[in-house]
Amino acid sequence: MSDNNMKVTLQGNPVTLAGGMPENGAVIPDAVLIDNSLNAVSLKDYIGKILILSSVPSLDTPVCHIETKKFNEEASALGEDVLVLTISMDLPFAQKRWCAAEGVDRVVTLSDHRDAAFGQAFGVLIKELRLDARAVFVVDGQGVLRYTQLVEEVSNEPDYEEIMTVVRELLKGE
């Protein structure tokens, strides 16, 4: 597992990200994740819709909680052509419980806990903690990465407006 040179901090302390971040304009790498029913699923299974891939350290932290709830609200307004996948190292049981408790029904949560496949493929795996850093990737219906936002301070929220602008532009063009 190689390190990348992206600068990210957690509560002001630098962390090391492992893996390679894909380039905008490239077909996304595949990663096998675990869904809430303990089934292995491939990112490629979701190609055909515009994807918002939201990488978070853990749903049980305040910022990840806020972010996932915000994307759940946004997804309701974006329609059926857009799918939000929230990916974390949380166990599938915890993700399912959290979604039920919070009424999150428009975001698909996927666990990266088994192989850290997503974290490595997208360059967001925090080596020191074996958690995925906060990042958002927007993928078009053909599986091409169109936008990347790596949040430099993991305890900060992403720029939602910038993400939604990209998604709306893709909706106009598809």
Question: Which residues are annotated as catalytic?
Answer: 64
Which sign does the torsion angle of CA 63, 56, 53, 110 carry?
negative
Rounded Cα–Cα distance for residues 153 and 15 (Å): 10
Q: Residue 129: CA atoms inside 13 Å, Cβ hemisphere, count?
A: 21
Closest CA to 114 of 139, 98, 132, 135: 132
* CA 46 – CA 51 distance, rounded (Å): 8
Could you tell me the two tokens for 60? Answer: 């049980």
Task: Please give the single-letter amino acid code of residue 20.
Answer: G
